[in-house]
Structure 1
Amino acid sequence: MRFALSPEQRDFAAALDELLAGSDTPGVAREWAERRFEPGRKLWRELADLGVWGLLVPEEHGGAAAEPVDAVVALEACGYHAVPGPVVETAAVAPRLLGGGELERVAAGESMVTVAIPPEVPRALDADAADVVLRLAGTSAVRLSSDVDSAGRMPSIDAARGLFPVGESGEALGRARPHAYALGVLGVSAQLLGAARRMLAMATEYAAQRRQYGRAIGQYQAVKHLLADVTVRLELARPLVDGAAVTVASGAGEATVLRDTSAAKVAATRAALLAARTSLQVHGAIGYTAEHDLGLWLTKVRALAGAWGTADAHRTRVLTAVRGEHAG
């Protein structure tokens, strides 16, 4: 199977890139880490104008009723530009859990949603910034109080990611639509791809500028090989992410969807971690400094690597699925 974006999807990706490239997202992410949310909310409203938050929302609720592949395009762009906040939860998961007027507010960029799905996702991301806090218990969605005590914020390697424990009680919202968790996994995988691409671009640009012994370090074969290895890993991961999006859209059973989204998460995590390690190696000591933007992506990737299930957990899911298929 050959995966290729349609002209409309490529135009959408270009529009997102143009908006985010001019929005100082590193500055917005740093403000978000200090729990100053207004710059981030402004950016979210601008993304709403491009339809990002309504991609998977049904048309009757003001959304585009688009395919998961379209969401992958948007979330990869968010990862590339380090957009802060519960991006995956709002764009990919909330449409499976909410309905009615609440979804209309999500599509319009007026409602930011965060989700906990114990045990895989035990804490709610940025619950102090979100307008809606949800918990998925089995197949039922529960709306929790959005009045969050900031003192309950738990530490994360990524300062822009605030993690909060969630309670048990709340307002039952009814049965969730299928694949809520799988779409979260798929969304994080897309973010990881975007972050990996950004770090590869930063490393490539730095290698062309930084000179040692009278030559740009990018001219040295060893550096070329490092960057090429990241490129190969990314190209191997992308079809798995796109393929998982197609599987979700196909109406396949839960086991198949979880198998493919787990495989996507494993591949995207491997690519992003290699990109992080390589980019830091190419940048050298400057990459460790808080002032350099590389650090925003390094810490984001480390956090996303364990978000919505660790790589080991997803490998186990894939292995169990494959063994079950062979046994059958």
Structure 2
Amino acid sequence: MRFQLSPEQRQFSASLHDFLAGADTASTARAWAAGEHDRGLKLWRALADLGVFALLVDEELGAGPVDLVVAFEALGYHAVPGPLAESAAVAPALLTGDRLAALAAGDLVATVVAPPHVPLALDADVAGVVLDLTGADVAAGDPEVVRSIDPARRLFRVPAAPAAETAAFDLGVLAVAAQLLGAGQWLLDAAVAYAKQRSQYGRPIGEYQAVKHLLADVATRLELARPLLYGAAVAGDTLARDVSAAKVMAADAAYLAARTALQVHGAIGYTAEHDLGLRLTKVRALAGAWGTGSFHRTRVLR
């Protein structure tokens, strides 16, 4: 099958990257992790103005899962915080009426809890609604905070019944897989740029064959994951199988990108002030979000 993004989709991707590149998302993510949400919510509304939260809501846009993947690659690349997959991918399949309109406009933040694969509600303290996969509201009450490896992912233990895997669940998986691929691409780009700057023995380390091989391996893994991701977006009746395959490949590729970027950067990559850390922790957290690798591999096999 021959697949290519339309000119409109490429323009949408470029506009998101241009906007987010100037939005200082790194500082926004750090503020979000500290419990300061004003900047993040302002960014949320700006993304709504660009149509991110209306992709699966507004039929006049003519958008679908492919457009969702385009958006979430950009969101993952720039480490945008918040329950993005829950609000832009899952909640549109669960909400109706005024709440759906508010979601598309960026006036409502939604999160989802769906044990066993989504046992914790992301950012339940910020969300205006907590849903299960049937579309029912879940009473958050005073939820227990659970620490995540990614400080920008604030997880809350909210009582909810086990949920079956639905089309809404698969859209959440698809969105997270796209975020992982975007984060992996940022890590590769950062590692390549640093390899051109950092010198050892009078030469940039990027000139050494061993470093070139490390970076080439990451580029190959990312490029192998991308067709699976977009293939899942157009899969239709086989969405469950294909989206699980895409999640496995995107998570593995992003994890390799994270390890390699850290190796290339050396000690500076361990510092909390470096933006590398925002993606390292996010990749590790998203790899297990919306279903572990073991679950998705078993699903493909089944």
Report the counterpart of residue 272 of structure 2 in structure 1: 290
Structure 1: give runs of 5+ residues left out of the alignment.
170-175, 321-328
Name the TM-score, length of structure 1 as normaliser: 0.89
Q: 1:273 aligns with which of 252, 255, 259?
A: 255
Q: Residue 231 of structure 2 corresponds to which residue in structure 1?
A: 243
| Pair 1:214–1:168, CA change in 2 (3 A) | closer
Residue matched to 2:80: 83
Unpaired runs of at least 5, structure 2: none
CA contact (8 A) 2:114 2:160 kept: no
Paired residue type of 1:117:
A
1:313 to 267, 284, 295: 295
Q: Which of 178, 185, 191 in structure 1 is aligned with 2:173?
A: 185
- Cα deviations across residues 250-286 of structure 1 (Å, max 9, x unaligned)? 3x1xxx2211110000000110000000000000011
**Is 1:64 equivalent to 2:61 in the alignment?**
yes
Kindly state the Cα deviation for residue 118 of structure 1 after the two structures are TM-superposed.
Answer: 1.2
Q: Distance in 2 between matches of 1:319 and 1:312?
A: 11
Q: Could you list the per-position Cα deviations for residues 279-302 of structure 1 after superposition, in whole angstroms to 9, with x for gaps in the alignment?
A: 000000110110111000000000
Q: How many residues align?
A: 300
- Name the CA distance, whole Å, in 2 between partners of 1:47 and 1:75: 11
Mapped contact 1:130–1:146 kept (Cα < 8 A): no
Q: Return closer, same or farther for 1:237/1:45 CA change in 2, 3 Å cut-off.
A: same
Q: 1:153 to 1:222 in 2, by over 3 A?
A: same
SS in 2 for 1:36: coil
- Determine whether 1:198 maps to 2:180: no
Whole-Å Cα distance in 2 between the matches of residues 104 and 146 of structure 1?
A: 22
Q: Distance in 2 between matches of 1:77 and 1:148?
A: 33
CA drift at 1:2: 2.4
Measure, in 1, the Cα distance between the counterparts of 2:13 and 2:58. Answer: 21
Correspondence for 1:162 among 154, 161, 174: 154
Output the aligned Cα RMSD. Answer: 1.5
Q: What is the rounded CA distance, in whole Å, between the counterparts of 2:126 and 2:273 in structure 1?
A: 25
User: CA separation of 1:90/1:65 partners in 2, compared to 1, >3 Å: closer, same or farther?
Assistant: farther
In 1, distance between residues paired with 2:224 and 2:61?
30
Tell me how far apart the structure 2 counterparts of residues 48 and 147 of structure 1 sit (CA, whole Å): 28
1:312: Cα distance to partner? Answer: 1.1
1:119 CA displacement: 1.1
Pairwise CA distance, 1:142 = 1.3
1:222 to 189, 197, 210: 210
Question: Could you tell me which amino acid in structure 1 is paired with residue 251 of structure 2?
Answer: T
What is the CA–CA distance in structure 2 between the aligned matches of 1:8 and 1:314, rounded to whole Å?
32
Q: In 2, Cα distance between the equivalents of 1:243 and 1:274?
A: 22
CA distance in 2, matches of 1:178, 1:314: 14
TM-score normalised by L of structure 2: 0.96
Partners of 2:258 and 2:152 in 1: CA distance: 18
Structure 2 partner of 1:16: 16
Report if aligned partners of 1:96, 1:178 keep a CA contact under 8 Å in 2. no
Letter in 2 for 1:195: A
Matched, 1:303 2:285: yes
Is 1:37–2:37 an aligned residue pair? yes
Contact 2:176 2:289 in 1 (8 A): yes
